[in-house]
A and B are shown apart, each in its own frame.
Chain A
Amino acid sequence: MSDRIIETKQLTKKYGNQTVVNSVNLHVKKGHIYGLLGRNGAGKTTIMKMILGLTSITSGSAEVFGKNIKGNEKRIYPRIGAMIEAPGFYPNLTGTENLEIFAKLRGTSAPDAVKKALEVVGLPYRDKKIFSKYSLGMKQRLGIANAILHDPEVLILDEPTNGLDPIGIAQMREFIKKLSTENGKTILISSHILSEIALLADDIGIIDKGVLLEESSMKELEKKNRKYILLQVSDVPKTILILERRFQVKDYSVQDEQTVRIYDTELNMGEINKVLVMEAIAVLSSGICNDTLEDYFRKITGGEGIA
């Protein structure tokens, strides 16, 4: 089994002469949460739909489990759980009945799959309430429950926190995280909210106007985005002494024989440099690392940022 669960190659979608998705190469790794970040209308949903075979592909290819969905529907679909846009259900049925329909169509992985799925998302089993009476949050939860009903290997979730209140968003985040860490699921999730993706994803793909601007792991990004002063000096103990005595710095950590990170970014760097040099400590490099993720996105999306 290859490491990549979902892979798209030069995936392109055109409506008439308008290109909605332009040569996108996505790589979703096994067991990772992949966050697809972009503004509304950037093409996230279209990409997901193309991966799922719900809309035609103009050119390029999208593979799940190393296979094209077309022609392998019966093999691949049962291994995917998906929620695209606001999920629809039968309004005249209760949540449980709705799920039972899908359980019947798909088959189940465990005897009490419906009950378990509802439990996981925190909806009552065998409730009398019909779907049309559900609140937006409950609808969204039921969508997730349907996606995980058959315990699939991959989850494709399109804006799962859309329309949820802050508490609901936090719960959903916890829950998605748990699916990844405790059940080892591979998850492709899209959002237009940066902080949401930043808190969840292992890998991130930033999409703007149908073009995948960047794809990298969250760790890589975070390295670029911590707020601290990085000092590389010849003599760490002495530097710390000076920092503690002269500048009252308490919040720092020693990285290795030459590097100190200072988490107090209000310090005057010029002053520190001067003092260190006067004390005959060679300063190999110093700099403030305070690019926040937001700044970074603003940079790569060309100044507009992502709200």
Chain B
Amino acid sequence: MLKLVEVEFCKLRRKKVMWIMLLAAFVMPFFAFLYFGYLGKTNIEPALFYKWSAFGCTLFLILPFILGLLSIMLIHDENQYDMLKQLWIVPVSKIGYFFSKFFIVFLYSLCFMIINAAASVLFSVIPNYVAFEWNSIAFLVERCLEIAGLTAFAALPVLAVTVSQKGYIFPMCITLIYIFAGFFITPVNSYLHPLSCISVIISRGGAVPGIALLEPNLPLAFFSMCVWGIASVALAVVTLGKRK
């Protein structure tokens, strides 16, 4: 397993797109910077700024989209260059293959959110919108890591769909639908979709102003995510087994 992950890293050499995609982590902090700059306020509640820069669109749109793109890149490239038949006869176990990909997605997600957190701090403290204090930064970093981990799990369905398909167009569409569904389902029922579950978990205790739910049911959110995760792994294993 360790070997597989190591190899996954080797495969990513000279992939510039990977680095370029990390730039997306700056998008929301930058917009937050512009927005609050426009409002011309100083000494904003830190959580409010972070809600804009990290817990909002980053969580709902950008990160899932980037992770979906990454999954498709990781898997579709190998498919396109006909690597799989060479890997199977090594042999590489199909579950191991799937999880090594997932592990890369997970690590990438962590990197992305750490950068996002750093950018949020930079764009808030330097223009002096938010007073610099360790407490709020620790809170931000902690929540960002949570988002990173959870979103990686939320990307499992996309990964599974990509693994089961030869092309990249269908998985791409599924990714988009998946993300927008998350966006629209949240107001209706927060426990149906992994992405909305994440927002439930993140905003627990009313820490994030604005998305605080009436009665957050954390176990249910975790349970929903688990169901989605297990279902995706099962789908991946079955389709990988069938496809040769």
Contact of B83 among A55, A73, A88, A100 (CB under 8 A): A88
Contact with B along A44-55 (1 / 0, CB 8 A): 000001001111
Cα A161 to Cα B167 in complex, Å, equals 29
Chain B residues numbered 78-95 whose CB sits less than 8 Å from any CB in chain A = 78, 81-83, 85-92
The answer, yes or no, to whether A246 is at the interface (CB within 8 Å) is: no
Note all chain B residues with C-beta closer than 8 A to A85: 82
**Distance between A24 CB and nearest chain B CB, rounded to angstroms:** 18
A52, A85, A92, A97 interface centre (most CB from chain B within 10 Å):
A92
Q: Complex formed: what's the CA distance from A77 to B85 in Å?
A: 12
B11 contacts partner chain A, Cβ-Cβ < 8 Å: yes
Q: Are B13 and A86 in contact (CB under 8 A)?
A: no
Q: Is the beta-carbon distance between B81 and A88 smaller than 8 angstroms?
A: yes
The answer to whether A93 and B91 touch (CB under 8 A), given A54-B85, A88-B82, A105-B3, is: no
Q: B1-36: contact bitstring with A at CB < 8 Å (1 yes, 0 no)? A: 001101100110111000000000000000000000
B83–A104 CB distance below 8 A: no
A77 with B90, Cβ < 8 A, contacts A91-B81, A93-B10 known = yes
User: Could you tell me the distance between the alpha carbons of A85 and B86 in the complex, rounded to whole angstroms?
Assistant: 11
Question: What residues on A are CB-neighbors of B92 within 8 Å?
Answer: 105
Measured between beta carbons, the chain A residues less than 8 angstroms from B14 are 92-93, 130
- Which chain A residues in 5-55 approach chain B with CB under 8 Å? 49, 52-55
Using Cβ atoms and an 8 Å threshold, which residues of chain B touch A77?
Answer: 89-91
Distance to closest chain A CB from B7 (angstroms): 5
Contact of A54 among B3, B15, B78, B89 (CB under 8 A): B89
The 14 sampled A-B contact pairs (Cβ below 8 Å) are A49-B85, A73-B91, A87-B86, A88-B81, A88-B82, A89-B81, A89-B83, A90-B77, A90-B83, A92-B14, A92-B15, A105-B3, A105-B90, A105-B92
Q: Are B13 and A92 in contact (CB under 8 A)?
A: yes
- Total contacting residues, chain B, CB less than 8 A: 23
Asked whether, in the complex, the Cβ of B244 is within 8 Å of the Cβ of A93, the reply is no
A contact residues, total (Cβ < 8 Å): 30
A61 at the interface (CB under 8 A from B): no
Q: Which residues of A contact B244 (CB under 8 A)?
A: 49, 53-56
A84 on the interface (CB 8 Å rule)?
A: yes
Residues of A56-88 whose CB lies within 8 A of B: 56, 73-74, 77, 80, 82, 84-88
User: Chain B: which residue is nearest A76 at the CB level?
Assistant: B91
The 5 closest A-B CB pairs, nearest first, are A88-B82, A88-B81, A92-B14, A77-B91, A73-B91
Given contacts A53-B244, A56-B244, A90-B77, 14 further A-B contacts (CB under 8 A): A52-B85, A54-B89, A54-B244, A73-B91, A88-B82, A88-B86, A89-B83, A90-B78, A90-B83, A92-B11, A97-B10, A104-B6, A106-B90, A130-B14
- A104 near B85 with CB under 8 A, answer no
Q: Name B12's closest neighbour in chain A (CB-CB).
A: A92
CB distance from B201 to the nearest CB of A (A): 37
Q: Which residues of A contact B87 (CB under 8 A)?
A: 105
Which one, B11, B77, B91, contacts A101 given CB within 8 A? B11
Residues of A within 8 A of B77 (CB): 90
With A86-B82, A88-B82, A105-B3 in contact, do A93 and B13 touch (Cβ < 8 Å)? yes
